[in-house]
Every structure is written in structure tokens, then in C-alpha cells.
Amino acid sequence: MLSAALLVQACNSPDKKEIRGDSVVNVGSGMDAKRDTGFTARQNDNPQDAKPGKNLRDYTNESHVNSDDAAFMKTAALGGLMEVELGKVAQKSANPQVKAFASQMVADHTKANQDLKALAAKTEILLPTEFFPDQDEHIKKMKALKGSEFDQHYIKMMVEDHSKTVALFRSGSETTSEDVKKFATQTLPVLERHYAKAKAIAATLK
């Protein structure tokens, strides 16, 4: 789903700073799930979606899930956005298997993203809505790839991402939060099918 590999890279990005009066306060990178619940800025005391890395405060204690569940939801959200975006890019493939797989990614992850968005609204967690610059750059480079080179890159990425995403959702299915647990448990079989299918396609591309 974040591209999980890209998520790891994003999570390791340097913390951001916010100037408050005469002092500079570390407010997190916008992807540190343990500290940043929201990708949010407050205006008139109403939370608003904001770009990654631009959190002004940490609202973990104001949500209805713990920090681990908030981390799971944010990671799943950014991964889901990436799966949909790359699935759209992969529609250019001339390989019927790859193109069909990509279409399934768009359909299934769009639904999962919608379900997660509803869960986030219920639990008062604000989710990321845009990619980091390095992720945008990766997408741009993938768009430039053609033919078998693109197919192999895309499917290899799908295998790696879904391996990590399946593990992520298995951990989410074991949480004590019933709402988060239900979402993770219901979505997990779909992700496992994606993982198996991606590996099967990868074997044909060698």
C-alpha cells in the first residue's frame, strides 16, 4: 500500500520545526506516527487536512484511538493512495496480466481508502492526502518507463509493498480497538490475494 518502501523512507525524514514566539519547537516530520496523529493544522479550532510534514501540533490525545492505531491508519492511508496512483499509471501496460492487476489495485484500494476515511472520521484521525516530494519523483520516473521495463518494475514493487502491507494489516487486526480491528481484518484477505497474484505475475516476467 505507501508504497511501504517509500513510507519507510518518509518516516525517516528529518523532523520539521515550527517557530513559536522567540523559540523553535520540534513538531515532527509529519510522518512520525508515534508523535503526529494528524497531518493537521488547526484554524479556528477546527482540524483541517494539511500536507505531509506541516503539522503544527500533535492531537494524539484528542483522538479515539491510541498512537499505535493512529500509526497504522496513517501508514495504511498513504500506502493506499500510492497503490491507486500506481495502478492508474500501470494502465499503460501492454501486458494483459499487468493491466488487469493494476485495474484491480485501483478498484480494491479505492474502496479500502474510502473505508479507512470513514474510520478516520469516526475516530477523529486526520489522514495524509498528498505524497512527499520523493514519492512524487518516484511516480514521475515510473511514468517514464516503458514496455517490459515498466512491467517488471511495477510488479516487483507490488510484491515488495504487499509483503509489508500484509504484515501491517495483520498487526492491525490484533489491536484492541474494535473499529480498527474490524477494518484491518476485513481488508487483510484482499491484500493477501493481491500479494499472491503479484508474485504469480512476477514469476512470468522473469
pLDDT at 67: 83
Confidence bin at 124 (pLDDT 50/70/90)? confident
Residue 115 phi/psi, 5-degree rounding, is -65, -40
pLDDT at 186: 97
The burial of 149, by beta-carbon neighbours within 10 Å (0-12 exposed, 13-18 middle, 19 or more buried), is given as exposed
In this predicted model, which residue has the larger pLDDT, 64 or 148? Answer: 148
Is the pLDDT reported for residue 48 higher than 50?
no
Domain ranges (residues) in the chain: 3-204
Confidence bin at 107 (pLDDT 50/70/90)? very high
pLDDT at 49: 45
Q: Which amino acid is at 152?
A: Q
Distances 68 to 141, 167, 170, 187, 205 between C-alpha atoms, Å:
33, 14, 13, 18, 38
pLDDT at 31: 39
DSSP assignment of 37-78: S-SEEEETTEEEE--TT---S--GGGSSS-HHHHHHHHHHHH
Nearest residue to 63 (alpha-carbon basis) of 44, 39, 43: 39
Distances 184 to 18, 69, 107, 109, 167 between C-alpha atoms, Å:
34, 11, 17, 13, 11
DSSP-derived 3-state class of residue 93: coil
Q: Dig out the grid coordinates for 151 from the structure.
A: 512491467
Nearest residue to 124 (alpha-carbon basis) of 44, 51, 180: 180
Which of 51-60, 107-116, 120-129, 157-166 has the lowest average pLDDT? 51-60
The burial of 57, by beta-carbon neighbours within 10 Å (0-12 exposed, 13-18 middle, 19 or more buried), is given as middle
Is the pLDDT reported for residue 130 higher than 50?
yes
pLDDT at 63: 54
132-156: average pLDDT:
94
Residue pair 84/109 in contact (Cβ under 8 Å)? The answer is yes
pTM assigned to the model: 0.69
Is the pLDDT reported for residue 148 higher than 50?
yes
Confidence bin at 2 (pLDDT 50/70/90)? very low
Is the pLDDT reported for residue 18 higher than 70?
no
Tell me the CATH number for domain 3-204.
1.20.1260.10
Q: Dig out the grid coordinates for 5 from the structure.
A: 518502501
Q: Which amino acid is at 95?
A: N
138-163: average pLDDT:
95
The burial of 82, by beta-carbon neighbours within 10 Å (0-12 exposed, 13-18 middle, 19 or more buried), is given as buried
| Residue labelled with grid coordinates 495524509 | 128
Is the pLDDT reported for residue 71 higher than 80?
yes
